[in-house]
Amino acid sequence: MAQLTLKNVYKRYDNQEKKLFRKKKINDFAVKDVSYVCEDGEFIGILGPSGCGKSTTLRMIAGLETITAGDMYIGDVRINDLHPKDRNIGLAFEDYALYPPLNVYDNLAFNMRAKKKSEEEIRKAIDYVAPLMKIDDLLDMKPPALSGGQKQRVNIARAIVRRPGLLLLDEPLSHLDGKMRQQLRQEIKRMHHEIKCTTIIVTHDQMEAMSLADRIIIMKDGEIQQIGTPLEVYDDPANEFVAGFIGEPPMNLLPSVIIKNQENFMFTFEGSDLQVEVPKKYRDVVKDGMKVTLGVRPVDVLIASEKVKSTPVPVAIYENLGDERRVSVRVGEQLLSMTTTDDVYYEPGQKVQLIFHEERTHLFDPQTGERIRG
């Protein structure tokens, strides 16, 4: 078990260094000023779009990339210059890299044999790990005969068989189809619950991060945007990027100008008659004529009774998806969507009045993307 600490870690690849002198662009850093503490036994998900620096971060922790600046510690030990094999880390990457001529047992045993462990010790370790990853029936088989899901189970089993202090998983499920991903996700969760090894998973799939991780680190352009539990990043996004990145279907993010209408503040939208009352909690932070980006999840847009202060607008699209209905209205050039599990039907063109869930309506500064709190 291990606590991992990153302090102001930067990474600039050599070929980016030359560009830096020319353009001095800040995003020439693949990873920029990343700091966090991954607690002993914690499961952390690093989440973000392609190219945001997730793998680079993981590879620096593993010792496969040098660190341009900053410090990394496992426990109290500074690991910046420690050889990868001395970091007590288990690694499982997207590609399986199993040895094809060796059967599964020998693949699992390979690194332990290299460390001169006794056959009895190896047998004991494999007997413990094989049922955990549900590969006990596969031990005599060779990798070419295994399915993608089976190979990835073996890959992860091989990473944990030596009981590392830190387990690093880089997009381990991205080769697999939907059902297999979900199954293996549950097994990784169960395995972590059992061995409680400090674990970091890198993924671009928010469902994977949300379902597996105790805390999620969301990155963009090499920088951390927010660190929080799955619920925190969903309910309380730090900025517009996080708000739009987490959640399916995505949050409605609409440019709006707030106007004062007698005693009430109203959201207005360019190219649309729609006006919706601004939730009361923002009364002290908004003013007449203020530009904001309004963020509200489809599930938090409500179709209201006629008494509310909201302009009736025609339904543009009605979709029945079986377990939920999706209703969209046109707001200028954009659509504002709501979802509900209620058994409702709206004819396209039928007028509805919308309100936004008081506590779950978010405002963002359109210039900086930062959250405006009520």
User: Can residue 51 be called a binding residue for ligand ADP (CB under 6 A)?
Assistant: yes
Q: Phi first, then psi: what are they for 231, rounded to 5°?
A: -70, -40
Candidates 5, 44, 47, 53; binder of ligand ADP (CB under 6 A) is 53
Distances (CA, A) of 64 to 56, 59, 79, 115, 178: 9, 5, 12, 20, 30
- Are 24 and 16 spatial neighbours (Cβ–Cβ below 8 Å)? no
> Pick from 2, 4, 43, 55: which binds ligand ADP (CB under 6 A)?
55
Tokens of 212: 């597996």
DSSP string of 22-40? Answer: HH--GGGSSEEEEEEEE-T
List C-alpha distances in Å: 41 to 44, 140, 286, 356.
10, 32, 43, 39
Of 55 and 337, the one with the shorter C-beta distance to ligand ADP is 55
Vertex 254, ends 276 and 210: CA angle to 5°? Answer: 110
Q: Is 50 helix (H, G, I), strand (E, B) or coil?
A: coil
Cβ 34 to ligand ADP shortest distance, Å: 11
Does residue 48 bind ligand ADP (CB under 6 A)?
yes
Which range touches ligand ADP (CB under 6 A), out of 47-55, 110-118, 139-147, 345-353? 47-55
Q: Can you say how many angstroms the Cα of residue 111 is from the centroid of all Cα atoms in its chain?
A: 31
Residue 306: count other Cβ atoms within 10 Å of its Cβ: 7
Q: Considering beta carbons, is residue 91 or 301 the nearer one to ligand ADP?
A: 91
**Least distance (Å) between residue 50 CB and ligand ADP:** 4
In the shown chain, the binding pattern of residues 4 to 43 toward ligand ADP, with x for contact by CB under 6 A and - for none, equals: ---------x-x--------------x-------------
**249 cis-preceded (ω within 30 degrees of 0):** yes
Q: Is 56 in the site for ligand ADP (CB under 6 A)?
A: yes
- The count of chain residues that interact with ligand ADP, using the rule CB under 6 A, is 11
Whose Cβ is closer to ligand ADP: residue 89's or residue 218's? 218
CA dist., res. 141 & res. 162, Å (int): 21
In whole angstroms, the minimum distance from the beta carbon of 14 to ligand ADP comes to 7
Q: What are the tokens at 84? A: 């990868």
Query: Using CB under 6 A, which of the segments 52-60, 155-163, 232-240, 321-329 binds ligand ADP?
Result: 52-60
Q: Which parts of 345-364 interact with ligand ADP (CB under 6 A)?
A: none
DSSP string, 144-181: GGS-HHHHHHHHHHHHHTT--SEEEEESTTTTS-HHHH
- Phi and psi torsions of 75, nearest 5°: 60, -125
Helix (H) or strand (E) holding 256: strand 252-261
The distance of closest approach from Cβ of residue 70 to ligand ADP in the complex, given in angstroms and rounded to an integer, is 15
Is 50 near ligand ADP (CB under 6 A)?
Answer: yes
CB of 53 to ligand ADP, least distance (A): 4
What is the closest distance, in whole angstroms, from the C-beta atom of residue 171 to ligand ADP in the complex?
8
Kindly tell me which of 20 and 335 has the beta carbon lying closer to ligand ADP.
20
256 interacts with ligand ADP by CB under 6 A: no
Q: Does 203 bind ligand ADP (CB under 6 A)?
A: no
The answer to whether residue 52 forms part of the interface with ligand ADP (CB under 6 A) is: yes
What are the phi and psi torsion angles at 57 (to 5°)? -60, -45
Under the rule (CB under 6 A), what is the footprint of ligand ADP? 13, 15, 30, 48, 50-56
